[in-house]
Amino acid sequence: MNHCKLLAPVLLLPIAALCPQDAPVGYSDTPHLPGGEWRVHDIARPVPATVTSGATVSAAPSDAIVLFDGGDLGRWTSRGGPARWKLVDGAMEVNGTGSIETREEFGDCQLHVEWAAPAEATGSSQGRGNSGLFLMGRYEIQVLDSFENRTYADGQAAALYGQRPPQVNACRPPGEWQTYDVVFRGPRFEGDELASPATVTLFHNGVLVHDGAELIGATTHRAVAKYSPHEAEGPLSLQDHGNPVRYRNIWVRRL
Ligand code: MG
């Protein structure tokens, strides 16, 4: 008996959140994204071509705010208390204690993050090395082991989750360190109305995968994202999706 298939309809939670090993590789019953060509998490949306990246440079510049250098989690919080991810070999590792977020808040910024999926690749689709980088606590750049791991295009590594696939798949093998270099511009609101959407430029392992891409709203699952007005700054958050993904060398510059 598969308890996952029993539990999911009862709890109305995504199956992937409960049973990563059974994660689907896409959907054909979700609503259409703006433009109408593709559904959210569309199983039929073509996946990006794969490229192999070169070496990457990642040292923090002198004016950066270093959010994590391997020493401690003092700049991070979780569920109203201290962040409790595991510190190991100069990295921090997801350990089931919940997502973490920065104590300090940021809006427009340049951000550098390094991450590694578990060396032992287990699970499939969204169940393999899943985590995420949430800008302003709302807008997810997906972290996933997308090395020879098929999932829906708008949910693979470096995707703007549920919205836009990366231009190419620059994912390195599980266990290897990878870099995200982000230029983020937050949305602007005038009263309750959206004045301009958030944009993301992203280099994955030094390869451009989003070039000023517009977000259509706050990240959601199996639904079309939409904006809700919010403050000009919010925390950076790292997702605990139940897989022991590691992070190191995280720094940010306000823009
Ligand atoms: Mg995620």
Task: Give the domain CATH number at 91.
Answer: 2.60.120.560
Q: Which residues of 141-171 are buried (b: 16+ CB within 10 A; e: fewer)?
A: bbbbbbbebebbbbbbbbbbbbbbbbbbbbb
Nearest CA among 177, 171, 184 for reference residue 57: 177
Same domain, residue pair 40 and 161: no
pLDDT, averaged across the chain: 91
Q: Is residue 207 part of a domain?
A: yes
pLDDT in tens, 196-206: 999 999 999 99
Do 225 and 121 have their domain in common?
A: yes
Residue 122 lies in a domain: yes
Asked whether residue 55 is domain-assigned, the answer is no
Q: Which domain holds residue 39?
A: 1-47
pLDDT single digits (tens) 103-125: 999 999 999 999 999 999 999 99
> What spacing in Å lies between the alpha carbon of 211 and ligand 1's midpoint?
21
Whether 59 maps to a domain, the answer reads no
User: Is 71 among the domain residues?
Assistant: yes
Give the separation between CA 6 and CA 158, rounded to whole angstroms.
Answer: 32
Tens digits of per-residue pLDDT, 66-113?
999 999 999 999 999 999 999 999 999 999 999 999 999 999 999 999
Cα–Cα distance measured from residue 159 to residue 132, given in angstroms and rounded to the nearest whole number:
10
pTM across the whole model: 0.85
- Is 21 in the same domain as 70? no
Structurally, the chain folds into a number of domains equal to: 2
pLDDT score of 57: 65
Residues with CB under 5 A from ligand 1 (ion): 130, 132, 239
Q: Choose between 11 and 121: higher pLDDT.
A: 121
Span from the CA of 178 to the centroid of ligand 1 (angstroms): 16
Tell how far the Cα of 191 is from the centroid of ligand 1, in angstroms: 30
